[in-house]
Amino acid sequence: MRMHIELDDELVAQIDELSAPRGRSAFVRSAIERAIRQEFRWIDIEGAAGAIADHDHDWDLNPGAWVREQRRADARRAG
């Protein structure tokens, strides 16, 4: 699908500097895809905020020991 957008001359010059010859569309498409993925990540992060209670965790008493135990329990860990 085609779409018409307006960009400042300076922005277009920067795109031209970073993209391959005749690569504006691909560059802009890639930048928009990255921006959309980032926006969806933020939506997920904000949606998860507060999902974990503030207390009664296995790690509350000694977070360092809890982390070490988690690492030891990981069969993929070397050493």
Ramachandran area for residue 31 (φ above 0: left; ψ -120 to 50: alpha; else beta)? alpha
pLDDT higher than 90, residue 12: yes
Q: Alpha-carbon dihedral of residues 67, 72, 73, 79, nearest 10 degrees?
A: 140
78 vs 40, more confident:
40
Residue 2 within any structural domain of the chain: yes
Q: How confident is the model at residue 52 (pLDDT cuts 50, 70, 90)?
A: confident
pLDDT higher than 70, residue 45: yes
Number of compact structural domains in the chain: 1
Residue 32 within any structural domain of the chain: yes
The residue among 43, 1, 7 whose CA lies nearest residue 24 is: 7
Residue 41 within any structural domain of the chain: yes
Domain that holds residue 38: 1-50
Q: How confident is the model at residue 77 (pLDDT cuts 50, 70, 90)?
A: confident
